[in-house]
Amino acid sequence: MLRVDLTDSEITEEEISPEKMEKFVGGVGLGSSILREEIEDEVDAFAPENRLIFFTGPFAGTKVPGSGTYSVVTKGPLTEMFGGAQANGWFGARMKFAGYDGIVFHGKASELSYVLVTDEDVQIKTDPELAGKDTYETQEYLKEKLAMPKSSVACIGPAGENEVRFANIASDGGHFASTNGIGAVMGSKNLKAVVVAGDEGVPVANEERFDELAKEWQKEVNETLMGATVSQYGTNGFFSAAAETGWLPVKNLTTDIFEKHPEFNGDSLREKLDLDRTPCHACPLEHCNEVQLKEGRHEGLKTDEPEYEGMAAFGPLIGNDDYTEAIYLNDLNDRLGMDLKEMGFTLSLILECVENGVLDEEDLDGLDLDWGDIDGVEKLMKNIAHREGVGDMLAEGVYRTAKNFGEDALDKAVYTHEGIAPHIHDPRGLWGYLFGQTISNMGSIEGFSPAELVPQPDLGMDEPVEKYKDPYELVEAQGEMAKKYYFVDNLGTCFFTSVDLSLMTEALEALTGMEYSKEEALKQGHRTMTSSRLLNISQGWSKEEDKASERLLEPCPDGPNEGVSIREDIDEMVDYHYRRMGWDEKGHPKKETLKELGLD
Amino acid sequence: MGRVKVKVYQPLASEMGREKSGPLEFQVDLHGEMSIEQVLSLHEVGEGLLSLLKTSEWSDNIMIALEGEINYDGLSAKVSAGEEIQFFPLYGGG
């Protein structure tokens, strides 16, 4: 592992003990463990003492599908607690090829800097030309300047430089580690980019067996319809399913009906766009593309194809029904380097507040906004990234913005009490999503998928949990899924290529030579979750954070989930989750739980 | 006597021969209340769909909805005239 002190320009190498590797595996597990050891209680997210930690997992750079993934861990400025995010692509594999499992940054550089990590050398460099460059420009500029086309660059855009509280980190084109303002922390350290490259191989304990299992893994990924849909149509292949079953977010959740969904669905989109495949490391799905618009105001625009959440955030959520404009705004947001979840729900809050007279032109620097006003939204986004005018306030994210505008805005805002926007869904009709987001330790969804949609045979759930029937059954399912996906987050592989736990643990055994059962994997996931909770408690967490905003408790206004609300059930669901995880009624892990998980 | 509308979304639709974007759609006449399986067996295209859904590749990865409501009873769920049956790819999250 590398340690980079940006204040004193000191670079050191450290060994991670085998015991620690076995206990925390990699990714957010190892990252959060190191973060918990090294930051003081209630440290400021923007203080030089905060850590910014990049970690791969054990599979990084191997033949296992989607093994270019890496995690970034820090104290996030939105929740002012643990922030953990993943990005796919190549960066994780190339960091491993450079010879490192992780990099811990601390301190603050005196000038805007970048760090070059290769298998021969590690250097901290400064370059004033980097200031103000967007995320795509930064990646292209550094690759060309260093003459390293086979490198990966993780960088921030103008939003990160300006410490926008929801700035993110871009890498390998349009891949983002996005949640909880990790790019703002990078900006606070005057760190514009990290470049990684190398040729070192990844040691494998049992190569023959590992190759067999990697092939089996590839085959299993290809055989699922999730895989087939993602491969053929991208994640927008599910756009119509979201719209028709009532969990597509429309106009800040004031409705769940969006008639133009067929034009946003992946099959239609890919007919209308020019595509050029840009696959991630070892990925059989190859769903990532550079696309070019063939019609509309921005005809000719080349950009990475937006994922479902990007099309939903800059489409129905802000009242825009033109797919070309959604692609344009997604590209702008990516270039500026901001989390689209926070951006989407901040914009939609403002638009609803304008419609209802809570805000007017005077509050918004003279902008006369309306649903689907692309030019107005574009101006707001640029102002946010540069913290200009009202953009300076909106750059604080949806919760802080609403709080500033008063009770009427707070009632309309979509956030959890940790202070962060949820993923781009209307989760009121899918309680697995809403519950998983409400109890989140790192700002994203615990369990990743909603248990009402996805069966988990490897967890003993051959059928999905029936909606609204038994909230306790949903808590049980979501809790077990959370354990599984914490473990997956630690492996250094992409969610879309995750497979049966038994296959993943067998491959881990063949790779490392260590014994690893499915039960140990789930225990490891539980350990990471509980360790994250301990980290949050040290930063001032209380049970009040495990709540959803008023808008998220309101009944769905229309569509197939009309009238449904989690309000009456959510508190008991949270309490039941605490009991199942071995935490007390305040949400603090019990002593016996810590002992069982080796965290005492 | 009435009709049930069936919409089969991609990529299942292309597996059934649809070459363009958008769902494959067809309608079936029915009397009273019937199961989805019975409804599909009354139509040539529906029979093809039933055969596909009996393979694990598709049966494990399809979400069936009635009027937009996720259906947990699979092909045995009951439908009535005027309703719409939808077959979506199963969303895994994200």
* Cα–Cα distance measured from residue B80 to residue B36, given in angstroms and rounded to the nearest whole number: 10
Helix, strand or coil, per DSSP, at residue B4: strand
* Cα–Cα distance measured from residue A68 to residue A88, given in angstroms and rounded to the nearest whole number: 6
A363: exposed, middle or buried (Cβ count in 10 Å: 0-12, 13-18, 19+): middle
Distance from CA of B81 to the nearest CA of A (A): 18
Going A370 to A374 to A378 to A379, the CA torsion angle's sign is negative
**Pairwise CB contact (< 8 Å): A453 & B23:** no
**Pairwise CB contact (< 8 Å): B60 & A225:** yes
Thinking of the domain A2-196, which architecture would CATH place it in?
Answer: 4-Layer Sandwich (3.60)
From chain B, the residues in CB contact with A466 under 8 A are 72
- Within a domain: residue B94? no
Beta-strand relationship, A113-117 and A191-196: parallel
8-state DSSP, A273: E
* Per-residue b or e along A570-582, where b marks 16 or more CB atoms closer than 10 Å to that residue's CB: beebbbbbbeebb
**Pairwise CB contact (< 8 Å): B57 & A223:** yes
pLDDT tens digits, residue range A421-466? 999 999 999 999 999 999 999 888 888 889 999 889 999 998 999 9
- Token look-up 């719209």 returns A243
Predicted pLDDT of residue A444: 86
If one counts every other C-beta atom within 10 angstroms of the C-beta of residue A42, the result is 10
* Cα–Cα distance measured from residue B75 to residue A491, given in angstroms and rounded to the nearest whole number: 37
> What phi and psi values does residue A192 have, to the nearest 5 degrees?
-80, -35
Give me Rg for the CA atoms of chain B: 12
Thinking of the domain A427-596, which architecture would CATH place it in?
Answer: Orthogonal Bundle (1.10)
Residue B58 has pLDDT above 80, yes or no: no
From chain B, the residues in CB contact with A262 under 8 A are 21-22
Q: A71 has which bridge partners?
A: A55, A86
pLDDT band for B54, please (50, 70, 90 cuts): confident
**Domain CATH code at residue B83:** 3.10.20.30
- Within a domain: residue B79? yes
- What CA–CA distances, in Å, run from A242 to A572, B87, B90? 28, 12, 11
From chain A, the residues in CB contact with B63 under 8 A are 241, 245, 453
Cβ atoms A256, A201 nearer than 8 A = no
Provide the number of structural domains found in chain B. 1
Structure tokens at B35: 């199961």
If one counts every other C-beta atom within 10 angstroms of the C-beta of residue A66, the result is 26
What are the residue boundaries of the structural domains of chain A, listed by start?
2-196, 211-411, 427-596
Which are the contacts of A10, defined by CB distance < 8 A and separation ≥ 6? A3, A4
Helix, strand or coil, per DSSP, at residue A315: coil
3-state secondary structure A56-101: CCCCCCCCCCCCCCEEEEEEECCCCEEEEEEECCCHHHHHHHCCCC
Beta-strand relationship, A289-293 and A302-304: antiparallel
**Pairwise CB contact (< 8 Å): A240 & B23:** yes
Residue in B14, B68, B88 closest to A560 by CB: B68
pLDDT tens digits, residue range B23-34? 999 999 998 899
Name the fold adopted by A211-411.
1.10.569
**Pairwise CB contact (< 8 Å): B93 & A449:** yes
Residue B94 has pLDDT above 70, yes or no: no
Residues of chain A with confidence (pLDDT) below 70: 225
Structure tokens at A313: 């955030």
Structure tokens at A291: 């696309």
* Nearest CA among A285, A279, A314, A282 for reference residue A298: A314
Domain of residue B54 covers 2-89
Average pLDDT estimate for B84-92:
90
Question: Interface of chain A against chain B, CB under 8 Å?
Answer: 223-226, 228-229, 232-233, 235, 237-238, 240-242, 244-246, 262, 265-268, 270-271, 307-309, 423, 445, 448-450, 452-455, 463-464, 466-467, 495-496, 559-560
Query: A499 to chain B: nearest residue by CA?
Result: B92
8-state DSSP, A333: H
Predicted pLDDT of residue B59: 77
